Amino acid sequence: MKVLADLMRSQRVIVSCGAGGVGKTTTAAALALRAAREGRRTLALTIDPSKRLAQALGVSMESLEPVRPPGLRELYGHDVPLDVWLLDPKSVTERVIRDVVSDPATREALFANRLYQELSTMMAGMVEYTALEALDSFIASDRYDLVVLDTPPSRHALDVLEGPRRLAAFLDGKIFQLFLPPEGSSNLLRAGAARVLRSVLSRAFGESEYEELQNFFQAFSGVLRACGSHTARLEVLLADHAKASFVLVTGPNEAAFDEAQFVEGELAAKNMHFAGIVVTRCDRANEPRSATAAELAKLPAALAAELTRAADDERERRTSHKSLIARIETMVGDRAFLSTVPTFFGGIDSLADLDRVGAMLVPSIVED
């Protein structure tokens, strides 16, 4: 079976994918921390993280750039090259606009545009695009040896690549094109349609509102056009098995087996590397200790019955988890790794907790 530690030492990008609520973001942060402990310059890049994770890392969710968690030196006694960016899609979109729109007046007009403020993070694909834009910029700059990308929650592992395509479709749409100036004086049909649209919308919403809408589309079109080249470049990178891998994070339930098969098939269709599976909240280790008959006899009957039921439920749950893991092990064989993380009662509240998760995921790392 493949070893996760080997992938973390060799890859440029590890993409953490899966449904929401299974510990996907926490797993990505723990993997990034583990890689950084080996000296790799690592970035944990995550979208819309929980406040609890931000508190565990000791970083702000409003940072406009990657930051070094402040407690690393205190925890390990030396510097660990881990940066974290709890990505705010709006801040990345604004950075893209500053790179693409060279005229300061045009930029500020777009930022002040009410439609931009309301639509820029609502358009289908914008969140995924901002993640890819950030990933592309860091890979191109060679600032990090490894980027662990935590994707938006989804069963579809490649949704992160579909976002820019949805934006491109929006850009190519007929309605969008009507708001842009005709390319060339010969395009009389489009120019005529645009005049009709202006007349209708001006009467419906008012001239000033139409002007604002047109200004938004014209200014934002240059930003959207930048999607294509970046996405194509990243697709090449993500299809390079020597540089990029996808890791599925899932829970210990029946759907996990089907989900693993689905994600592996989806990635295979794109020739992308399905590295393995992390099953969280999976308790399959030692059997829980049951109270002896003598111990139960000393308790009130109702309490003794409740303790017995709880022990039986726990035993059944662990048996179910063991069975599930055995099925997944058979499915992945030697093609991918399988790691499990038990339930953390009380949650993940600190860097030390993340370090414990990382040690469970990658136990072969050299401890310092």
Sketch the domain layout of the chain as residue ranges: 4-291+299-361
**Residue closest to 216 by CA, chosen among 96, 126, 130, 120:** 120
CATH number for the domain formed by residue range(s) 4-291+299-361: 3.40.50.300
- Rounded Cα distance between 283 and 355, Å, is 19
Binning pLDDT at 50, 70 and 90, where does residue 265 land?
Answer: confident
| Most confident of the following: 82-96, 242-256, 315-329 | 242-256
Asked if residue 1 has pLDDT above 60, the reply is no
Asked if residue 37 has pLDDT above 70, the reply is yes
More confident residue, 173 or 313: 313
More confident residue, 176 or 219: 219
3-state secondary structure of 233: helix
Asked if residue 317 has pLDDT above 80, the reply is no
- Rounded Cα distance between 15 and 4, Å, is 13
pLDDT of residue 308: 74
**Residue closest to 9 by CA, chosen among 356, 333, 365:** 365
DSSP of 52-90: HHHHHHT--TT-SS-B--TTHHHHHSS---EEEEEE-HH
Reported as a single tens digit per residue, the pLDDT across 268-302 is 888 899 999 998 888 765 555 566 667 667 778 78
Quick one: which H or E segment has residue 146? strand 146-150
Helix 207-225 vs helix 227-238: crossing angle, to nearest 10? 30
Query: What integer is the mean pLDDT of 130-137?
Result: 76
pLDDT of residue 195: 61
Structure tokens given for 255: 């759907």
Name 245's bridge partners: 14
Binning pLDDT at 50, 70 and 90, where does residue 266 land?
Answer: confident
330-to-58, 169, 263 alpha-carbon distances in Å = 40, 41, 16
Place of tokens 């005049």: 195
Place of tokens 């395509």: 165
Query: What integer is the mean pLDDT of 295-313?
Result: 75
Structure tokens given for 233: 């470049």
Q: Beta 13-17 vs 244-250: how paired, if at all?
A: parallel
In the chain, which ranges are continuous DSSP H helix?
4-10, 24-37, 51-57, 72-76, 89-100, 104-112, 114-119, 126-141, 159-172, 174-178, 188-205, 207-225, 227-238, 254-269, 293-297, 301-332, 351-361
Average pLDDT, the chain: 75
- Rounded Cα distance between 184 and 202, Å, is 25
pLDDT of residue 82: 95
